[in-house]
């Protein structure tokens, strides 16, 4: 799974694996400009959404419910943005796009988590691929809280 | 279906209806900054993707295949961006978000359609919600060519 995420901006992966289903891996995205941002990546290589099969779609719909519910319980976001873009793969000479989704919770009001304040500076508008890193120990806690709420 | 599309920027609708399935309506988006941009809207009111049911997801997966194939036949885009954002609904006091997808074909090289040239000025990067209107008669032809290739 070698890829650079448009929103995550990390080579060689999508972040920290926090959950998996039969067909999808769920990662906590390295950039937390929007608290709780995750990447949901198909386990097999697949270039376009039209190649995703019946079982993978059904499994994906369960991931959507599980993730939205987990975030609802953890941080009560106002809404959720989902996108499957794959643009950044095409900046290279030999693009190898892979189906993966950006799951981006959006917040009308700021949220505080472990004494860090998360504003959503673009609320009401498209999410920007600008990086916000947070300390590793807070990433770890964030990963655990999402995982706990998925169970 | 009263809504203002983030990418379409039109009040009161998503553009011109070109196709429908049991659960989804497919519109040609009023803004054609990226040739062949469409909106796929759920027919019933639904705020979050987690409320989309089994049959609607399966039907949606068929729409994905049909649309990507139709565009492939018509204009051979390099890739396709899909997103379900609903951000603009939250700019109003009483937001009424509705599940709808932005289908945005992306092009490495310019495409000419009816003597109009379509560059993709943001290729390799996220699609921008900037409006490009084209003459009504070309919209009509574009709508027909996509429709023809979906049959």
pLDDT at B28 over 90: yes
Least confident of A6-10, B118-122, B123-127: A6-10
State the complex-level ipTM.
Answer: 0.93
Neighbours of A144 (CB within 10 A): 12
Residues in chain A: 151
CA distance B137 to chain A (A): 30
Find the chain A residues whose C-beta atoms sit closer than 8 A to any C-beta of B.
Answer: 6, 48-50, 52, 54, 57-58, 60-61, 64-65, 68-69, 78-88, 90-91, 97, 106, 108, 123-127, 129
pLDDT of residue B5: 57
Decide if A80 and B49 are in contact by the 8 Å CB cutoff.
Answer: yes
Q: Name, in order, each residue with C-beta under 8 angstroms of A139's C-beta and a sequence gap of 6 or more.
A: A16, A28, A32
- CB < 8 Å to B86, chain A: 79, 81
Asked if residues B100 and B38 have their Cβ atoms less than 8 Å apart, the reply is: no
A115, burial (CB in 10 Å: exposed 0-12, middle 13-18, buried 19+): exposed
The minimal CB distance from A50 to the residues B57, B64, B90 is found for: B64
Asked if residues B99 and B23 have their Cβ atoms less than 8 Å apart, the reply is: no
pLDDT of residue B40: 96
Strands (E), B47-92: 79-84
pLDDT at B7 over 90: no
Q: How confident is the model at residue B14 (pLDDT cuts 50, 70, 90)?
A: confident
pLDDT of residue B12: 54
The minimal CB distance from B64 to the residues A49, A65, A123 is found for: A49
pLDDT at B142 over 90: yes
pLDDT of residue B151: 86
Mean pLDDT (chain B) is 91
pLDDT of residue A151: 86
The angle at the Cα of A137, spanning A134 to A143, to the nearest 5 degrees, equals: 85
pLDDT at B2 over 50: no
The minimal CB distance from B54 to the residues A58, A64, A127 is found for: A58
Helix (H, G, I), strand (E, B) or coil at A72: helix
- CB < 8 Å to A60, chain B: 57
Q: Which residue has the tokens 């009483």?
A: B94
pLDDT of residue B92: 86
CA distance A149 to chain B (A): 16
- CB < 8 Å to B84, chain A: 81-83
pLDDT of residue A8: 53
pLDDT of residue B15: 87
Decide if A87 and B48 are in contact by the 8 Å CB cutoff.
Answer: no
Neighbours of A117 (CB within 10 A): 9
Structural domains present in chain B: 16-150 (3.30.428.10)
pLDDT of residue A11: 55
Neighbours of B11 (CB within 10 A): 9
Q: What is the pTM of this model?
A: 0.93
Strands (E), chain B: 16-20, 24-28, 38-42, 79-84, 100-106, 111-113, 116-118
Please tell me the distance from the alpha carbon of residue B57 to that of residue A51, in angstroms, as a whole number.
15
Decide if B83 and A88 are in contact by the 8 Å CB cutoff.
Answer: no
Asked if residues B13 and B135 have their Cβ atoms less than 8 Å apart, the reply is: no
Hey, what are A83's tokens?
A: 């996108």
Asked if residues A63 and A23 have their Cβ atoms less than 8 Å apart, the reply is: no
The minimal CB distance from A90 to the residues B49, B65, B78 is found for: B78
Q: Which residue has the tokens 């891996």?
A: A25
- CB < 8 Å to B124, chain A: 87-88, 90-91
Residues B37-70 pLDDT 10s = 999 999 999 999 999 999 999 999 999 999 999 9
A82, burial (CB in 10 Å: exposed 0-12, middle 13-18, buried 19+): buried
pLDDT at A85 over 70: yes
Q: Which residue has the tokens 């890739």?
A: B79
């Amino acid at each position: 799974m070698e890829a650079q995420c448009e929103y995550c901006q990390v080579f060689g992966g999508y972040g920290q694996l926090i959950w998996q289903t039969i067909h999808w891996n769920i990662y906590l995205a390295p950039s937390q400009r929007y608290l709780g941002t995750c990447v949901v990546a198909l386990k097999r290589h697949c270039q376009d959404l039209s190649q995703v099969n019946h079982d993978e779609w059904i499994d994906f719909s369960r991931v959507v419910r599980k993730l939205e519910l987990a975030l609802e319980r953890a941080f009560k976001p106002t809404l959720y943005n989902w996108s499957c873009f794959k643009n950044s793969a095409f900046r290279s000479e030999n693009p190898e796009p892979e189906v993966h989704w950006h799951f981006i919770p959006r917040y009308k009001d700021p949220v505080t988590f472990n004494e860090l304040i998360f504003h959503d500076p673009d609320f009401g508008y498209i999410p920007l691929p600008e990086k916000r890193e947070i300390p590793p120990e807070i990433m770890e806690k964030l990963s655990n809280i999402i995982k706990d709420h998925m169970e």
